[in-house]
Structure 1
Amino acid sequence: MSEPKPASGDDLGALIPILGLCGFASTFTMRLIDPLVPTLAVEFGQSVHQIAFLVTAFSGCYALGQPFLGPIADAVGKLRSISTCLVLLGTLSALAAFATDFWMLLALRAVGGVMAGGVIPAAMAAIGDRAPMAERQIMLGRFLVIMIIGQMAGAAFSGVVADHIGWRAVLGTAALLAIGGAALVRLVLKPRPNADRPPLSLSGAIGSYRAVFANPRSKLLYLLVMLEGAMVFGLPPFVAAILHERSGTGSSEAGLAIGAMGLGGLVYGVLTRILVQRVGPRQMMRYGGIAMALGYGLFVIPAPWWSAIGIFLLIGFGFFLLHGTFQAQATELAPTARGSAMALFACFFFMGHATGPLAMGTLLNALGTSGALAVFGVGIGLLGLLTPKLLPPLGSRS
């Protein structure tokens, strides 16, 4: 497999912060509903489980759009695709701020999920095009640092603003962030000269996906990342309800707890080079699974609401230890069709992301909070421990 031509330091210096800000806008929009579930349930006269379906709709449409968005990004250029999706995402978020009923909000969030799906996978593919494999996981880690702040801010900001101004202001802010990110891409970043782009056609898309699945590692990687998405992101839509039941807290406290997953991601991003060089991808996957399992186990114990901040920081750090290694592997599945490979990676991850809340809701009803958390904790722990044996990272030490 051919290595990309390394980008100059100046190119990467601009690329990482700006694409990171685009990822910030996407993840901010994605995570802002989680702390608002009880608030929106009262606003629209729906149950908590029905409102949690807003998260499933966004994530499911994020996943379903990927098979189309990947070939489009490969054909028209990843930067152009990212900026267009951000403009549309901002427009949909602005319209959602004026939603008058649950079904209108659901439809706008669903279509917004498709547009959000055109940002992060294409951004990671663009980094893969420019950074050699030896530096790629480190560059992706830096990208994640900025992107994760968006995840953290989306949850924490939305809870606080909803309590003091209203949930509509949260969606308005998301719209401004997305359109601002699109403007920066258009004004600052330049497409690669003489890039080899396949034609935008059905046969071209089929050819790209054929190249992806020609790699025997693809199927297993996509299955594992789907399981990861379900077990990590099945819980956040129910955190506000769990904390309210235990401590009588509101959206602000839930947002701070969920946002702490982003703090864990920031720790990972800052330490990525040290972790890759000294710990190695295989051990990072194992430690990631153990950290998440421990976090789920600790959340079983009734405790003051603020203890959830440390618990979700631990879960977030563990998640990125595992997921960061998955991402680096995905960028190398098909160097001639990276946009398509990363789109499929996101597709399967967000299929898990979409089904996770449904599975968690079912387990909460059947087993209660402690039983549901125990099942998810054991599952994610086993995933982290078994993955290095099932899918060892290329060129890593054991």
Structure 2
Amino acid sequence: MRPDLALLPLLALAGFAAGGGMRLMDPLLPLLAQDFGVGVPAVAPVVAGFTLAYGAGQLITGPLGDRYGKLQVAAVALVLYGLGLAVSTLAWDLSSMIVLRTGTGLVAGAVIPLAMAWIGDAVPYEDRQATIGRFLTGMVMAQLLVGPASGIVAQFAGWRASFLLLAALALVVGVLLVRRTGRAPPPGAGRGLGLMQYIVLLRAPAGRRLMGAAALDGAALFGGAFPFVGSFLIERFGLSPGAAGLCVAGFGLGAFVYTRLARRLVARLGEKGLLAAGGAMLAAALLGTSMASAWWAVALLQAPLGMGFYMFHGVLQARATEALPESRATAVSAFAMALFLGQSVGALAFGAVLHAAGYGAVFAGAATVTAGLAAWVARVPAR
């Protein structure tokens, strides 16, 4: 019996709530620093703790999803995430905030990978990327809206109000998911937790290729190009942080266009065509950014950058849902872990490139890696 795809809008809201946790802190760092009596650099561990826990938690949440039910675990994790956001407003100093934020990231990381694994169960492979695109609408809208909304709310009511609003959304959606999924029996009754499935995945050549592609994707884009666009606009062209944020928001617009066109793009181009077109758009936009002589040129390139990224990355996500069908949640979590590991390594590597050769070299280097990665992935079979 196939799962009920009527849950997809609720899952998109769950993705919005969980994805919003990444963007929530963007405008709040100066306010936290002022509240706790420290400088802004001292607040960086609040962001790092959430991100590292978000990635590291995949090690256990994937096997838990395969053992007790993907949506059951995702629903409980979303409720715990909402509670973590609410409790974080009680932080009395920087150390307590770091601990609470890290714990919140640990459960937040379960929601999106387990929802995608559930889609893998629900949808045939040929329709899966388009369905994942519909689900990702929530996460894309979080990237567009949560940062600016968090800043506006905090300006009038303080940073704790921003946390509470996102906590309320997460709790409401989490409780609705618990009610919708609580009656379903655990699919893995009588089985162990299945941590050995990670080894099964890595023993397969296709599994190793997919994890390698995810790590390179994370290194070149999540750790390499994307984090430096805002600072490039500020340092090279003298934009304010707010104006730079508006420019970068164009990435989310491009991503949103992809979610609306995903089904038609998959039907017209197929997997290899999406990889080639998405990789080419990414590489061209990054190369254009490296040579940009005005801020508006960087801003105009953000939409194709966002659309190209989701065209390319969407294929990798769809393949992750089919890498280990008998332990789908474990495979998607492994993909997410590889992505975060690559992001960490890429941040260090491209940070060194920035120090040695400047922003142009960072974006040109990311373009080169992305073009090579797209060509390589397009040559290997999906399964």
Q: TM > 0.5 between the two?
A: yes
> SS of the residue aligned with 2:57?
helix
Map of 2:72 onto structure 1: 80
Alignment-derived partner of residue 153 in structure 1:
145
Distance 2:347 2:183 in 1: 38
Structure 2 letter corresponding to 1:109:
R
CA shift digits 1:295-322 (9 cap, x unpaired): 2223332423x55443222221111111
Q: How does 1:115-130 map to 2 (within 5 A)?
A: 115-130=107-122
Q: Secondary structure at the match of 2:19?
A: helix
Matched to 2:360, the amino acid is: S
1:223–1:71 CA distance, 2 compared to 1 (3 A): same
- Structure 1, unaligned stretches of length 5 or more? none
The corresponding residue for 1:366 is 356
2:316 pairs with 1:326: yes
Q: Distance in 1 between matches of 2:236 and 2:203?
A: 50
Deviation per CA, 1:228-278, whole angstroms, max 9, x where unpaired? 122222244444433332444444333333333222221111111111111
Distance, in Å, in 1 between the alignment partners of 2:345 and 2:48 is 7
Task: Call closer, same or farther: CA 1:292–1:6 in 2, change over 3 Å.
Answer: same
Summarize deviations over 1:15-46 as a string: whole Å, max 9, x none.
21111111111111112334556666677644
* Secondary structure, aligned partner of 1:392: coil
Equivalent pair of 1:88/1:115 in contact (CA under 8 Å)? yes
**Aligned-pair CA distance for 1:370:** 2.0
Q: Alpha carbon RMSD of aligned pairs, Å?
A: 2.8
Does 2:95 match 1:106?
no
- The offset of 1:288, in angstroms, is 1.6
* Cα distance in 2, alignment partners of residues 295 and 34 from structure 1: 24
SS at match of 2:382: coil
Task: Tell me the CA shift for residue 138 of structure 1.
Answer: 1.8
Distance 1:259 1:170 in 2: 19
Quick check: 52-61 or 25-34, which moved more?
Answer: 52-61
Q: Could you state the TM-score of these two structures normalised by the residue count of structure 2?
A: 0.88
Q: Which residue of 1 aligns with 2:124?
A: 132
Instruction: State the alpha-carbon separation in 2 of the partners of residues 260 and 372 from structure 1.
Output: 20
Whole-Å separation in 2 of the counterparts to 1:185 and 1:278: 34
Q: Measured at CA, do residues 158 and 296 of structure 1 come closer, stay the same or move farther in structure 2, by a change above 3 Å?
A: farther
Q: Match of 2:294?
A: 303
Which amino acid is the alignment partner of residue 67 of structure 1? L
Q: Does 1:344 align with 2:344?
A: no
Matching of residue 270 in structure 1 with residue 229 in structure 2: no
**Within 5 A, what are the aligned runs for 1:1-398?**
5-7=1-3, 11-12=4-5, 14-34=6-26, 36=28, 45-46=38-39, 54-162=46-154, 166-189=158-181, 196-197=187-188, 199=190, 201=192, 204-234=193-223, 235-300=225-290, 301-304=292-295, 307-389=297-379, 391-394=380-383
Q: Report Cα offsets for 1:25-72 as digits up to 9, x if no partner.
A: 111111233455666667764465x65554443332222111211111
Query: Against the structure 1 CA distance between its residues 94 and 357, is the aligned structure 2 distance closer, same or farther, given a 3 Å change threshold?
Result: farther
Please say if residues 218 and 339 of structure 2, whose CA atoms lie closer than 8 Å, have aligned partners that are also in contact. yes
Structure 2, unmatched stretches of 5+, are none
Work out the CA distance in 1 between the residues paired with 2:303 and 2:357.
Answer: 25
Q: Pick closer, same or farther for the CA change 1:160–1:241 going to 2, 3 Å.
A: farther
Deviation at 1:347, TM superposition (A): 1.2
The count of corresponding residues between Structure 1 and Structure 2 is 380
Summarize the Cα distance change of 1:97–1:363 in structure 2 as closer, same or farther, 3 Å threshold: farther
Name the amino acid aligned to 2:114: A
Contact 1:67 1:343 in 2 (8 A): yes
- Residue 56 of structure 1 contacts residue 357 of structure 1 at CA under 8 Å; is this kept in 2? no
After TM superposition, the structure 1 stretch with the greater mean CA deviation from structure 2, 28-37 or 117-126, is 28-37
SS in 1 for 2:195: helix
Q: What is the letter of the counterpart of residue 217 of structure 2? A: E
State the alpha-carbon separation in 1 of the partners of residues 146 and 226 from structure 2. 12
Report the TM-score, using the length of structure 1 for normalisation: 0.85
Instruction: Spell out, residue by residue over 1:343-365, the C-alpha distance to the aligned partner (whole angstroms, 9 max, x if none).
Output: 11111112223343333333322
Paired residue type of 1:130: A
In structure 2, do the counterparts of structure 1 residues 363 and 54 end up closer, same or farther at CA, with 3 Å as the change threshold? farther
Q: Which amino acid aligns with 1:140?
A: I
Distance verdict in 2 for CA 1:265–1:358, change over 3 Å:
same
Q: Percent identity?
A: 36
- Secondary structure of 1:110 counterpart: helix
CA contact 1:15–1:189 (8 Å) conserved in 2: no
Separation (CA, whole Å) in 2 of partners of 1:114 and 1:257: 31
Q: Partners in 2 of 1:168 and 1:272 — Cα distance?
A: 37
Q: CA 1:183–1:260 in 2, change beyond 3 Å: closer, same or farther?
A: farther
